[in-house]
Amino acid sequence: MADQVEEKKKIKGIEDLSGVGQAILNKLVDSGYSTLEAVAVASPQDLSVAAGIPLTTAQRIIKEARDALDIRFKTALEVKKERINVRKVTTSSQALDGLLGGGIETTTMTEFFGEFGSGKTQICHQISVNVQLPLEKGGLLGKAVYIDTEGTFRWERIEAMAKAQGLDPDAAMNNIYYMRAINTDHQIAIGEDLQELIQKDQAIKIVIVDSITSHFRAEYTGRENLATRQQKHNKHRHQLVRLAEIYDTAVIVTNQVMARPDMFYGDPTVAVGGHTLYHVPGIRVQVKKSRGNKRIARMVDAPHLPEGEVVFAITENGIRDAEE
């Protein structure tokens, strides 16, 4: 048993699979099978043709990849134990942490949606700093990846938040990988490159996309483009969810809202993305403006958390509990 565990630890990429030499490796990569995940979910027939290997060899490689990723049937008790051990990053607000069940979860996508100025980007900045904190302070001693689609990332806020947390500002900024996504294709390509980046730097514990919908909304206008937009958007979300699950990272995405003129009761705004949002697992939180620096966060959807609403504040030092 110990030997099997040790064997799983050794396999970190497709080049570590037995029988995959340089020639087969090149064929697999050229055919799009560049990761363990891609190999693990491939059909033996497709892999056999792509790599030019016997069907039995393809089957063995696929099984080895699945074993390395621990893709198998599990008991409900095993799932419970895994969930109990899920790690969390503090938001620096006890109220907001409470709403989220203790903070931002790893292995999960958390979405914050709301109107402009509601605090979505401020939360993203705060989490990219807090993930660097030690465990006893609500961090993971990790690094962050920040994908900025709207040009709203500000190093000045990172510096202020880092100082408030007792971190060296330059060191904190050095622990955040930043990329400005220019359009939807670029955004999706960055998502594909994330796997390689996380494999190289396993200290990465959070991936942030702020916002996930802005380019899709701008580029695919009109009803005739709606289906294409939804398909690409849905694919991108699932791409990020898989990263979270495989590499035990937290994923945060922000989203915009649009008006619903047919709503006569309740909140007349709804998150951009339509029904595709409900096909992607994760936690969804709506944030709204309140008086002064106060903001309201409402739990909209989470498979394991109750609905609720809390108030937090955005201060010079970052996200904090609202003063009564």
Q: What is the pLDDT of residues 263-282, one digit of tens each?
A: 444 454 555 545 555 556 68
Give the lowest-confidence range in 87-91, 229-233, 257-261, 275-279.
Answer: 275-279
- Mean pLDDT, the chain, rounded, equals 86
pLDDT of amino acid 72: 83
Report the percent of the chain where pLDDT is more than 70. Answer: 89
Greatest mean pLDDT range, 62-66, 169-173, 237-241 = 169-173
Higher pLDDT among residues 265 and 255, named by residue? 255
Give the lowest-confidence range in 70-79, 146-155, 204-213.
Answer: 70-79
Per-residue pLDDT for 254 more than 70?
A: yes
pLDDT of amino acid 68: 86
Position 315, amino acid: T
Per-residue pLDDT for 163 more than 50?
A: yes
pLDDT of amino acid 261: 47
pLDDT of amino acid 19: 79
pLDDT of amino acid 264: 45
Mean pLDDT throughout 95-109?
A: 95
Mean pLDDT throughout 158-184?
A: 97
Q: How far apart are CA 286 and CA 111, in angstroms?
A: 8
Give the lowest-confidence range in 33-42, 242-251, 291-300.
Answer: 33-42
pLDDT of amino acid 38: 80
Higher pLDDT among residues 216 and 270, named by residue? 216
pLDDT of amino acid 226: 73
Cα angle vertex 23, ends 18, 26, to 5°?
A: 95
Per-residue pLDDT for 185 more than 50?
A: yes
Per-residue pLDDT for 197 more than 90?
A: yes
pLDDT of amino acid 272: 53
pLDDT of amino acid 108: 92
pLDDT of amino acid 110: 96
Would you place residue 1 in the very low, low, confident or very high pLDDT band (cuts 50, 70, 90)?
A: very low
Q: What is the pLDDT of residues 47-74, one digit of tens each?
A: 999 888 899 989 999 999 888 888 888 8
